[in-house]
Amino acid sequence: MTAAAGLALMIVGAVLRYAVTWRFAWVDLPVVGNILLVGGFAGLVLGLVLARSRRRLALAVERARDSAAWSASGSDAYPPEPYYRDQYPPH
């Protein structure tokens, strides 16, 4: 579940919980709204955590690919240190 889907569930849950005044004998809409709010919050958190882990994995794969390309070049020197944007102040 993506963060956007979790946010959408939270919106639908909030509408059912706080804005809908219809009453049905066979379903309690505020309870359904609460369930959707909790599920949406869990989906939002899960989506953000998964997005961060995917980003970290992509960076690790990129570093491994750069390291493999450097070692395949046949050079005996150490590979260059990675440059991070935050490492040097702007000029």
Overall average pLDDT of the 41-67 stretch: 78
Which of 24-28, 33-37, 78-82 holds the top average pLDDT? 33-37
pLDDT above 90 covers a percentage of the chain that reads 36
Structure tokens at 35: 């369930």
Band of residue 77 on the pLDDT scale cut at 50, 70, 90: low
Could you give the angle at the alpha carbon of 37 between the alpha carbons of 31 and 42, nearest 5°?
Answer: 130
State pTM to two decimals. Answer: 0.59
The Cα 57–Cα 52 span in angstroms is 9
Could you give the angle at the alpha carbon of 21 between the alpha carbons of 15 and 24, nearest 5°?
Answer: 110
Structure tokens at 25: 């004998």
pLDDT above 70 covers a percentage of the chain that reads 59
The Cα 57–Cα 54 span in angstroms is 5
Question: Which amino acid is residue 79, in one-letter code?
Answer: P
